[in-house]
Amino acid sequence: MEDFGDLRFHLTPLDIVKPGDDCMACDKFCIEVEASFMPPILDEDDLSDYESQLFDVECEWKEEDFLVDRDRLLNDDQEVSRSIIRDILGDMNIPVRAFMIDRILACARQMAVDNIYLSHKVLYMRVRIDVPPGFESSEDDIIEGEINLVPASKSSVEALEIVKVEEEGYVKQPCAVCFEELLMGGEATRLPCSHVYHCGCIRKWLEKSKFCPLCRFEIS
């Protein structure tokens, strides 16, 4: 569980298959959201003892599963993808922060190209959020977090390393932009974070976002 201020956020990809998954008309993501909401502090005199009492008070607890078409969540238009996650968290009355959206989308893209999940019709992830009292959504924070919609500079894109796909590891991991295989003997673009993509795919991506689709590494 990671702490962001007093809010706690944890994301887990799940390697599971449930009955009925194979009957889905199209590939899906199932995002299992668990959220706890701490009651408000009624007296400022209790503030010093509040942290020690966190596990003694009764929280409001919510759980809900959200089934999303995989193509929609992995849409090239990042605002479409981001609005889906924003709506999911909003439906649970969770105060939305930009880092939550970034983490969930990065996890989704990683799972979509991971060999472990290639045969899965439905990809499951669990999101657990503990919300402290008085913690509200901040539009300023969300807007500031949308820096991933800023394109990378032309000079940084031109400076990216072009590699020949000769290593077996490259072929086993499809391009996380188009989800097609990297062909042995072909050229690919390697980002400074070492993730490799089709040259045309990553250039198109970086025209919209300066972040690696998988790990959020920033391309200046």
Q: State the pLDDT at residue 183.
A: 85
Q: How far from chain centre, in Å, is Cα 205?
A: 16
Residue-level pLDDT, tens digit, the chain, 220 residues = 655 556 889 999 999 999 999 999 999 999 999 999 987 655 555 555 545 554 455 788 999 999 999 999 998 788 889 999 999 999 999 988 888 998 999 999 999 999 899 899 999 999 999 988 776 655 445 444 454 568 899 999 999 999 888 765 565 678 888 888 888 888 999 999 888 999 999 999 999 888 898 888 888 7
Q: State the pLDDT at residue 48.
A: 52
How far lies 155's CA from each of 58, 149, 151, in Å? 54, 18, 12
Give the predicted TM-score (pTM) of the model: 0.76
Closest Cα partner for 210 from 160, 169, 168, 167?
160
Q: State the pLDDT at residue 136.
A: 65
**Domains of the chain, CATH where assigned:** 2-148 (no CATH), 154-206 (3.30.40.10)
Helices 98-113 and 78-91: crossing angle in degrees, nearest 10, is: 120
Q: State the pLDDT at residue 43.
A: 54
How far lies 189's CA from each of 37, 76, 108, 214, in Å? 44, 18, 21, 14
Residues 37/129, Cβ–Cβ less than 8 Å: no
Exposed e or buried b for every residue in 61-78, given b needs 16+ CB within 10 A?
ebeeebebebeebbeeeb
Task: State whether residue 101 is helix, strand or coil.
Answer: helix
Q: Could you give phi then psi for residue 11, rounded to 5 degrees?
A: -130, 130
147-170 pLDDT, tens digit per residue, is 456 889 999 999 999 988 876 556
Q: How many CB atoms lie within 10 A of CB 175?
A: 23
Cα radius of gyration rounded to whole Å, the chain: 20
Q: State the pLDDT at residue 115.
A: 87
Q: How many CB atoms lie within 10 A of CB 45?
A: 8
